[in-house]
Amino acid sequence: MAMETIPLPLEIWEKAKSIKEIDKWVLFHYPQVVDRKRKKGISFMTDFLFLKDKKIEIKLKIEKDEVLAVLPHTDIADSGDDAEEAKKNLKRTIEIDYEHLSQDRVALSDRLLDQLKYLEGLIGKDS
């Protein structure tokens, strides 16, 4: 599976309120991505991820050669060759993001602090 890396400026990442906003920025600055998306069959579905004792709803974006797992209400997503791999990678990414955000709590923007609080609720940690 060939993947393309697109540089995303930190200020865009910090200002975006959702993955859709990031997607719009990428599609505006890299229009060649739009052509590839039109050629592929893309579908979306709801699935669940289990963190500790909680069942968490996630969204899966299924493409021809890749599955993207997205945690709604956050900027957290990861991919895999199939749904199970994408879910496993998303779980790992949630844990890594939680650790990273919790170490820098005082320096976080309001949006990232809200994301940390949301993750604390999912993972079961107290703020």
Contact 58, 49 (CB under 8 A): yes
pLDDT of residue 44: 80
φ and ψ of 93, to 5 deg: -65, -40
Residue with tokens 């599609």: 27
Q: What is the pLDDT along the chain (127 residues), one digit of tens a residue?
A: 455 566 777 777 777 777 777 777 777 666 666 555 444 556 788 899 988 888 999 999 888 788 899 998 888 999 998 889 999 999 999 999 999 999 988 898 998 899 999 999 888 665 4
3-state helix, strand, coil in the chain (%, to 5): 50, 20, 30
| The one-letter amino acid at 110 | D
